[in-house]
Amino acid sequence: MRLLLVEDNARLVRSLSAWLAEAGLVVDTVGDGLHAEQLLTHEEYDAVILDLELPRMGGMELLRVLRARGDEVPVLILTASGETADRVRGLNAGADDYLAKPFDPEELVARVRAIARRRAGRAHSVFELGRLRYDTVSRLFSVDAQPLPLPGREHAILEALMARPGSPVDKKTLIDQLCSLDEAISPEAIELYVHRLRKRMEHSGTRIRTLRGLGYLLERADDAPA
């Protein structure tokens, strides 16, 4: 899951980035609204955490710009103001949720995951395919109720595929799910991670199919072509 954190308090950015990374989320950060608006024009995110008091373009203005151009990325407003009027103003402008500072990091992560699920049309927290099950709250995969432990990047790839069963996911999308803009990973590395995943999933009732030119598709093993 890839997030954009729009916040100009450097100390809070460091803390939030560490909390979110510990929860298994990939985070890009930006400190002003105009830069965030430009970034959201070219990059895709599962959710945005947005402060309201920002230089160059305020958070509320940024939110209105995004919604006016049809960008439906889930947005959680994070601000020092807990006034009801401000919450209503933010929600009416198109925010999906609102959290006032100070906050509990676990609640922030839970709320971000919830708005991302709702926007994807999946209000529930558990995905199932074949005998494979993924709980988005515990972030655990299991097969026939037995844990399926995975290294971090393989976990992230399977998480991305599991969220789009039956639909191909291209390598660029997988790379975006694995690393922030400050990091780099090659398409060849994706191929290696997928190869390892296939071995770990041999008895899961699912398989990862390569669609040339389109990417990878997660499907039930008995749905695979002969």
Task: Give the pLDDT confidence score for residue 87 in this predicted structure.
Answer: 77
Encode pLDDT of 189-222 as tens digits.
Answer: 999 999 999 999 999 999 999 999 899 999 998 7
The DSSP H or E segment spanning 93 is: none
Q: How far apart are CA 197 and CA 193, in angstroms?
A: 6
Predicted TM-score of the model (pTM): 0.73
pLDDT reported for residue 1 = 85
Instruction: Give the percent of the chain with pLDDT over 90.
Output: 58
8: confidence class by pLDDT, cuts 50, 70, 90: very high
pLDDT at position 120: 66
Contacts for 194-203 with beta carbons within 8 Å, 24 or more apart? 194/157, 196/151, 196/154, 197/150, 197/154, 197/157, 197/158, 200/148, 200/150, 200/154, 201/132, 201/148, 201/158, 203/131, 203/143
Q: What is the average pLDDT value for the chain, to the nearest integer? A: 89
Which of 104-108's residues contact partners 24+ apart within 8 Å by CB, and which partners?
Answer: 105/16, 105/19, 108/16, 108/19, 108/49, 108/76, 108/78
Question: The CATH number of 2-119 is which of 1.25.40.10, 3.40.47.10, 3.40.50.2300, 3.40.1350.10?
Answer: 3.40.50.2300
Average the pLDDT over each of 111-115, 120-124, 133-137 and give the range with the smallest value.
Answer: 120-124
Name the class of domain 126-223: mainly alpha
Mean pLDDT computed over 25-49: 94
Q: Where are the CATH 3.40.50.2300 domain residues in the chain?
A: 2-119
Residues of the chain with CATH 1.10.10.10: 126-223
Residue 226 has pLDDT above 60, yes or no: no
User: What pLDDT digit, counting tens, does each position of 84-108 carry?
Assistant: 777 788 888 899 999 988 889 999 9
Distance, in Å, from the CA atom of 86 to the CA atom of 1, rounded to the nearest integer, reads 28
Opening angle at CA 18, ends 82 and 29, nearest 5: 70
pLDDT digits (tens, 9 = 90+) for 130-182: 999 998 878 899 999 999 999 989 999 999 899 887 889 999 889 988 887 77
In the chain, % of residues over pLDDT 70: 95
Residue 224 above 60 pLDDT?
no
Of the candidates 134, 136, 141, which has an alpha carbon nearest to the alpha carbon of residue 123? 136
